[in-house]
Amino acid sequence: MHMADALLSPAVGATMWAGTAAAIGYSSKKLKENIDNKTIPLMGVMGAFVFAAQMINFTIPVTGSSGHIGGGMLLAVLLGPYAAFLTMASILTVQALFFADGGLLALGCNIWNMGIYPCFLVYPLIYKPVAGDGKSARRVSVAAILGAIVALQLGAFSVVLETLFSGISELPFGTFVLLMQPIHLAIGLVEGIITAGIILYVQQARPEILHAHAAARPLDAGLSIKNILAAFVILAVITGGALSWFASTHPDGLEWSIEKVTGKGELEEATQGIAPVLKDIQEKTAFLPDYGFKPPADEQNTEESPSVWPGIEPGTSVAGVVGSAIVLMFIIFIGFGIRLFKKQ
């Protein structure tokens, strides 16, 4: 559900950037109150895992579409809302800057759509009441599935509204929303099942993590989380380095919806204003665009060859492992920066 800049007007993009920046500032302030040295590496490792997991699109049967997990619901449960939101913002920033996944103008929208709703609305208002004390596997599973579905529905509807307010006439509201909501319902169901499985694993291995973050308190100093950290590091490497080869070749839910409405997978990008400037910046910073090696200059304007499955590409593996490492280091740097300000 990563939006491209072609879907937005500069005014809407700037507005969402401002809203997202305010949310980042508020989350940083709140996190500073309870951050500890154990939560910081957990944020980094979970961010690396979600980055890798987002590379794997799963096919939605019959539709010809695919989807990937958003990860916001999972992060909110394991880290608490403020740490989760900052982690999601870090993931999406790294994706946009270094992998050209989502536009720079659209970055504020993407962080809002995939971070605000699961962390600040769905987690406190749906997940926590349904999951209760977290001791019932059934209630946790229902809460995770319901939460993932609602979060993705809100995010998908936001995409529709953002294109509407941007005046994108090629995507009429009624038609676009009737495609976006059902396809993301199916994607949300799959994400919910995956989220429930991971939460139940952590509940068995280290329930103290869930209880502490649900109560908005630091992790106990004597609590060992080395096994959890190691497990998610290994999962991130395997997922980004190898399982990413098996990602579906079908367009994701947003691309599929756009194609159904317009007959093409992408809209034409603006040639004037801020959009081409940001695109030029992104082309310079994205050293592994679309999670692969840059093609030689003489091949960049040629037609793409048909996608094959599985896509066993060294560039994909490098992107998965390197991207996960960048996200890990970026989040740990931010976390210890917040921790440093707390001491002052």
Instruction: Tell me: pLDDT of 311 over 80.
Output: no
Residue carrying the six token digits 């987690």: 123
Q: With both helix axes pointing from N to C terminus, report the angle between 39-53 and 314-343 in degrees, rounded to the nearest 10.
A: 150
Residues in Cβ contact with 326 at an 8 Å cutoff, skipping those fewer than 6 apart:
94, 98
pLDDT, tens only, 73-100: 999 999 999 999 999 999 999 999 999 9
Instruction: Tell me: pLDDT of 303 over 70.
Output: no
pLDDT, tens only, 235-293: 999 999 999 999 999 999 999 999 999 998 789 888 889 999 999 999 999 999 999 99
Task: Please count the other Cβ atoms lying within 10 Å of the Cβ belonging to residue 24.
Answer: 20
What is the spatial distance between Cα 256 and Cα 268, in angstroms, rounded to a whole number? 16
Residue 295's pLDDT band (cuts 50, 70, 90): confident
End-to-end CA distance of the chain: 39
Report the percentage of the chain scoring pLDDT > 70: 96
Task: Please count the other Cβ atoms lying within 10 Å of the Cβ belonging to residue 300.
Answer: 8
Report the percentage of the chain scoring pLDDT > 90: 82
Contact 89, 327 (CB under 8 A): no
User: pLDDT value at position 344?
Assistant: 60
Residue 182 has, within 13 A of its CA and on its CB side, a CA count of: 10
Q: How far is CA 1 from the centre of its chain?
A: 8
CATH architecture, range 5-292+311-343: Orthogonal Bundle (1.10)
What is the spatial distance between Cα 304 and Cα 316, in angstroms, rounded to a whole number? 16
Q: Model-level pTM?
A: 0.95
> What are the Cα distances from residue 143, in Å, to 69, 259, 342?
16, 33, 33
What type of residue is 272?
Q
User: pLDDT value at position 301?
Assistant: 59
Contact 127, 73 (CB under 8 A): yes
Instruction: Tell me: pLDDT of 305 over 70.
Output: no
Residue 304's pLDDT band (cuts 50, 70, 90): low
pLDDT, tens only, 89-137: 999 999 999 999 999 999 999 999 999 999 999 999 999 999 998 889 9
The domains of the chain are located at 5-292+311-343
pLDDT, tens only, 141-187: 999 999 999 999 999 999 999 999 999 989 999 999 999 999 999 99
